[in-house]
Amino acid sequence: MTPPVIVGAGPAGVRAAQALAAHGLRPVLVDEAPRAGGQVYRRPPAHFRRSPAELYGSEAARAVALHAAADALADRIDHRPDSLVWNAQGGVLDVLQRGRIERLPYDGLIVATGATDRVLPVPGWTLPGVTTLGGAQVALKFQGCAIGERVVLMGSGPLLYLVAYQYAKAGARVVAVLDSARLADQVAALPMMLTRPAILMKGAWYVAWLRAHGVPIVRDARPLRIVGGERVEGVEFEQGDRLQAIECDAVGIGHALRSETQLPDLLGCRFAFDELQRAHLPLRDAAGRSSVPGLYLAGDGAGILGADAAEWAGERAALALLEDRGLPVDAARARALEQRLAGLRPFRRGLERAFPFPIDWAARADDELIVCRCEHLSAGQLRRTVRETGADDINRLKALSRVGMGRCQGRMCGVAATEILAQACGRPVGEVGRLRGQAPIKPVPLSALSSAPSAVPEPEAAA
């Protein structure tokens, strides 16, 4: 019998696997990382000596609990680590595992691919020594090192302060945290954020801890450029009408997170623009069912709600899969999970109010700014393409300029390119479309493609 498959072994994927196994199924759990935990609770190599408290700070207990849950499933699921799902079609996933491509059929699919950094480039972001906030986390958790000796972290969102805390806690020197949000934004968000006081207090504690340990926090900071020759030497920014500069040898950047939605796109899910998250997201119901029968969405890959919500959504999606198979589930538990998820939405709105997207970023971006580093395309080149061709859809702009055609398939430049397009053609960002998913969604070695199994026939042909 073809098993259900879960893509992603973060909080959502592990809890989904746990729920399916508890009901007698043996799901396949596919994940790019060598060990379960996802990005937020990324596990170091087995021989790593740093303690969970040093790695995860106040999140250590939750990280350890999730890791223990994943380890306890070892004999009850088919866990396939170091595996990249790079394509999906007709009930089959194309998976790159340790240099070889395999085809993985499924009967029921839970996509829990999580999120990645939302990047808004600044001049100098292509210098050695610049990484995303998530990349800075990976270096710390998985490689046991900081991205530099004197680190500036800049952008906005809760991840900014979490990474700063984790770096400083681990002994790295964080010379500044540059937050584009204003203190007034965060004060205005308090009524909504008080709906989850424990999470609010955790964030406030990070800020207080950083200040107590001498880490400067600058709000209303607009990064102007990252300066340097062969590598990073410093950052220039504005605060109000004041121009300031900080010396550093590494920079982590990010404006909150964005959902990884390529697989739902390839599988034909319907999408809609979400004003709150300023992104097109796949549609799903309260249980996680997508618009495609047998395809379920869970965690930050379908909308950013955080690690706690990802665990609840993963379990609820698994229960939905079981329900759709006609298997008995705990209806009260299913309702409780949906209520928990619904209860987070006011807090989520509060986060967006506290850390607003800098909607004037595109208007302020210089024509010389590199937006797509794979194809080395500047903001000016994209604007000129819009003027000369009348392009007002991001996929049309991609066809005419090659933006998003490089190795990252628009994962890094897609947000920025869409913002530039909307500004250049004078349309709301929600009306210029989204970069459609293309296989491979991440780079695949040609050597692996040359030995790949023959293509699976389309359902009509197989019939």
| Residue 259 pLDDT | 95
Examine the pLDDT at 462 and tell me if it is beyond 50: no
DSSP 365: -
For CA atoms 347, 350, 351, 352, the dihedral sign is positive
Confidence of residue 456 (pLDDT cuts 50, 70, 90): very low
Confidence of residue 103 (pLDDT cuts 50, 70, 90): very high
pLDDT per position as a tens digit, 113-141? 999 999 999 999 999 999 999 999 989 88
**What is the C-alpha separation between 110 and 219, in angstroms, rounded?**
39
For residue 273, what is the enclosing H or E element?
Answer: strand 271-274
pLDDT per position as a tens digit, 223-253? 999 999 999 999 999 998 899 999 999 999 9
Helix (H, G, I), strand (E, B) or coil at 161: helix
Contacts of 452 by beta carbon, 8 Å cutoff, 6+ apart: 94, 101
For residues 198 and 160, the answer to whether their CB atoms sit within 8 Å is: no
pLDDT per position as a tens digit, 84-93? 999 998 899 9
Examine the pLDDT at 452 and tell me if it is beyond 80: no
267/98: higher pLDDT: 267
Q: Starting from the edge strand earliest in sequence, which strands make up the sheet with 151-156, in order?
A: 130-132, 250-255, 151-156, 174-179, 217-219
**Which residue type, as a one-letter code, is found at position 187?**
V
First-to-final CA distance of the chain: 19
| Residue 98 pLDDT | 84
Encoded tokens for 260: 């990884």
Confidence of residue 327 (pLDDT cuts 50, 70, 90): very high
Examine the pLDDT at 222 and tell me if it is beyond 80: yes
Closest residue by Cα to residue 416 from 125, 115, 113: 125
Examine the pLDDT at 59 and tell me if it is beyond 90: no
Cβ neighbour number for residue 272 with a 10 Å cutoff: 9
**What is the C-alpha separation between 152 and 252, in angstroms, rounded?**
6
| Residue 366 pLDDT | 96
Of 18-32, 54-68, 227-241, 412-426, the poorest mean pLDDT is in: 54-68
| Residue 451 pLDDT | 67
**What is the C-alpha separation between 342 and 303, in angstroms, rounded?**
13
Contacts of 94 by beta carbon, 8 Å cutoff, 6+ apart: 85, 86, 87, 88, 101, 102, 103, 104, 439, 452
What the chain holds in terms of domains, given with CATH numbers, is 5-116+258-327 (3.50.50.60), 119-255 (3.50.50.60), 361-431 (1.10.10.1100)
Cα–Cα–Cα angle for 264, 446, 139, rounded to 5 degrees: 65
Please state the rounded mean pLDDT for residues 47-68. Answer: 84
Please state the rounded mean pLDDT for residues 311-323. Answer: 98
| Residue 454 pLDDT | 58
**What is the C-alpha separation between 424 and 207, in angstroms, rounded?**
37
Omega before 440 cis (within 30°)?
A: yes
Cα–Cα–Cα angle for 288, 294, 295, rounded to 5 degrees: 50
For CA atoms 191, 193, 198, 204, the dihedral sign is negative
| Residue 17 pLDDT | 98
Please state the rounded mean pLDDT for residues 299-308. Answer: 93
Q: Pairing mode, if any, of strands 250-255 and 151-156?
A: parallel
Confidence of residue 459 (pLDDT cuts 50, 70, 90): very low
Torsions phi, psi for 149 (to 5 deg): -90, -30
pLDDT per position as a tens digit, 375-414? 999 999 999 999 999 999 999 999 999 999 988 889 899 9
| Residue 114 pLDDT | 95
| Residue 460 pLDDT | 41
Closest residue by Cα to residue 17 from 80, 70, 67, 65: 70
Confidence of residue 458 (pLDDT cuts 50, 70, 90): very low
The CA dihedral of 342, 346, 349, 353, to the nearest 10 degrees, is: -170
255/99: higher pLDDT: 255
| Residue 448 pLDDT | 80
For residues 35 and 43, the answer to whether their CB atoms sit within 8 Å is: yes
Closest residue by Cα to residue 302 from 329, 333, 341: 341
pLDDT per position as a tens digit, 132-184? 999 999 898 888 889 999 999 999 999 999 999 999 988 899 999 999 999 99
For residues 86 and 30, the answer to whether their CB atoms sit within 8 Å is: no
Confidence of residue 47 (pLDDT cuts 50, 70, 90): confident
